[in-house]
Homo-oligomer: A and B are copies of this chain.
């Protein structure tokens, strides 16, 4: 889990503690690709997503600076990882599956938190209405943002839809309703102000 020196340029071989940069929409690893490394996000935003045969897409999580991904229980990645916006990340070699070194406690803790988050996300998908899902999503963004009430959406409406199990149209209509209700205000379509955090929290239980 430690960076080690490696003779080749990190841009060419990201297996050993290499810092790499990704442009928006770049693929970090594909679905089904061999899991050779785990990745720590330094800056930017990453989405973990899978695609169906018929083109339906699902985003299981967004990962911001400080979060780690790429751990698998199989030898391949169960989903793709893609940069949502310009993203910097550091690659660590995956442990030898045959003789794994113990997980550092903080990594183990991060994995347990991610499991809990995945279950919470499932709960949201199963039982929330469109407005409730959107409210929860905005609060999630608020938690990532520097200031609680001014957030920048790095992702497209399609990304939000694929994360919440909705369509772009429903996202748009939901945001319009929250705007009418004076819960949010738009600075640009991607930048918005949260005018009523309490109401958002009420919506998202």
* Residues of A in contact with B (beta carbons under 8 Å apart): 48, 50, 52-53, 56, 58, 60-61, 71-74, 78-79, 100, 102-103, 105, 108-109, 111-116, 118-123, 125-127, 162, 164-165, 205
Contacts and interface: CB of A to CB of B under 8 A. Distances in A.
A114 B112 CA distance: 10
A103 B100 CA distance: 11
27 contacts: A52-B205, A53-B205, A56-B127, A58-B122, A61-B119, A71-B112, A71-B115, A73-B109, A74-B116, A78-B116, A78-B119, A78-B120, A79-B119, A103-B103, A103-B108, A111-B111, A111-B112, A111-B115, A114-B115, A115-B115, A115-B118, A118-B119, A118-B122, A122-B122, A122-B125, A125-B125, A126-B165
Contacts of A109: 73
A127 B58 contact: yes
A119 B72 contact: no
Contacts of A48: 119
Given A52-B205, A53-B205, A60 B108 contact: no
A126 B108 CA distance: 27
Contacts of A100: 105, 108
Contacts of A116: 72-74, 78
